[in-house]
């Protein structure tokens, strides 16, 4: 069985972290985001197709160095193709029913249970569904008690919402779905293809699950994912190898080869590999990029430093993104073809 993982986005809402790395390789507790998804795949999935565009070589290099016990194909899209276009571009690798998964979702979804639900209902398409409090921010599923979805309502008023369930970014599909997708252009599975399947087949289902669901699409949700997983694992901090920590940590994640000077205090902060933090530094709610350096007696709050950035002694920064280097060539200034459009 195959799984297509959509990993082609630029991750513009996570810049400057994504100026230097693929969004799917952003570390969460020092492990690339995409590995959480791969590790939750059912045993019957023996082939993973990674739909990529931005920083393809970086992704290829990672999977050459790391074995996950299955065949992994990096499928280089010539241009951003959206969810539907990316699936169609991987058509030659599909042999039977298959998963389509968004690479920046961390959740408790049981994919084996999703397959069973799909088979029980003789579905053509099954999508994961997650309940939300504020339905007016999303496309909401009009779902019957048996899980049959008869449509979606875009950003309804609470009193007009057919349910509180939204598309949670995991799909289990039959190969006939591929016939609905036009080749070679950007296609939204959610806006263009799903409505046709609902109309033509009536066999479009939603699988509800419980536990947790996080869309790591913004700096705020990226930090929240760290906090959630630290709490879930019952640990106060997460620390990589070969670190020299002379200060104190609270609810923070530290990468490999990190130096933190005397009397420095870090709270709810993520530090990437090879960073150097001087003495008497206060970091709160920050993300510090790889190979970055922060001078002594600095105070940084709710800010993000990109890779290779340097701050002088006595720096005082609050709620800023620090990036002093050129923006990578071809990097867009806004999102291109959302991977999930709820």
Catalytic residues: 155
* Residues in the chain, overall count: 342
Which residue matches tokens 């042999």? 95
Query: 328: helix, coil or strand?
Result: coil
- CA dist 292 and 275 (Å) reads 5
Alpha-carbon gap, residue 52 to 69, rounded angstroms: 20
Contact, 160 vs 142, CB < 8 A? Answer: no
Position of tokens 């959610």? 190
Strand, coil or helix: 237: coil
Beta bridge partners of 76: 52
Q: Output the CA–CA distances (angstroms, integers) from residue 181 to 172, 323, 338, in the order listed.
A: 16, 39, 17
Distance in Å from the first CA to the final CA of the chain: 26
Tokens 């968004």 locate to 102
Q: Which residues of 222-232 are buried (b: 16+ CB within 10 A; e: fewer)?
A: bbebbeebbee
Residue 32's nearest CA partner among 20, 41, 40, 23 is: 23
């Amino acid at each position: 069985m195959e799984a297509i993982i959509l990993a082609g986005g630029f991750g513009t809402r996570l810049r400057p972290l994504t100026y230097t790395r693929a969004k799917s390789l952003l570390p969460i507790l020092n492990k690339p985001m995409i590995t959480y998804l791969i590790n939750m795949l059912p045993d019957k999935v023996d082939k993973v197709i990674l739909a990529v565009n931005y920083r393809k070589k970086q992704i290829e290099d990672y999977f050459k160095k790391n074995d996950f016990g299955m065949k992994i194909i990096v499928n280089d899209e010539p241009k951003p193709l959206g969810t539907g276009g990316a699936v169609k571009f991987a058509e030659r690798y599909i042999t039977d029913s298959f998963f389509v998964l968004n690479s920046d979702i961390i959740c408790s979804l049981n994919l084996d249970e999703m397959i069973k639900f799909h088979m029980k209902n003789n579905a053509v398409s099954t999508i994961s569904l997650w309940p939300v409090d504020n339905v007016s921010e999303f496309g909401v599923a009009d779902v019957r008690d048996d899980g049959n979805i008869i449509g979606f309502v875009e950003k309804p008023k609470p009193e007009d919402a057919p349910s509180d369930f939204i598309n949670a970014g995991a799909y289990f599909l039959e190969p006939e779905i591929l016939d609905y997708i036009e080749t070679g252009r950007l296609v939204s599975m959610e806006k263009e293809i799903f409505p046709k399947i609902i109309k033509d087949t009536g066999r479009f289902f939603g699988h509800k699950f419980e536990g947790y669901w996080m869309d790591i699409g913004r700096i705020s949700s990226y930090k929240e994912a760290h906090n959630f997983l630290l709490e879930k694992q019952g640990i106060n901090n997460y620390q990589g190898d070969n670190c020299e920590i002379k200060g104190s940590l609270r609810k923070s994640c530290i990468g490999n080869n990190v130096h933190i000077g005397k009397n420095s205090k870090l709270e709810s902060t993520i530090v990437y590999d090879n960073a150097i933090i001087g003495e008497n530094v206060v970091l709160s709610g920050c993300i510090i990029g790889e190979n970055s350096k922060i001078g002594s007696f600095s105070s940084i709050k709710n800010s993000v430093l990109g890779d290779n950035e340097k701050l002088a002694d006595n720096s005082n920064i609050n709620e800023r993104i620090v990036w002093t280097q050129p923006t990578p060539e071809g990097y867009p200034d806004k999102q291109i073809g959302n991977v999930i459009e709820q």
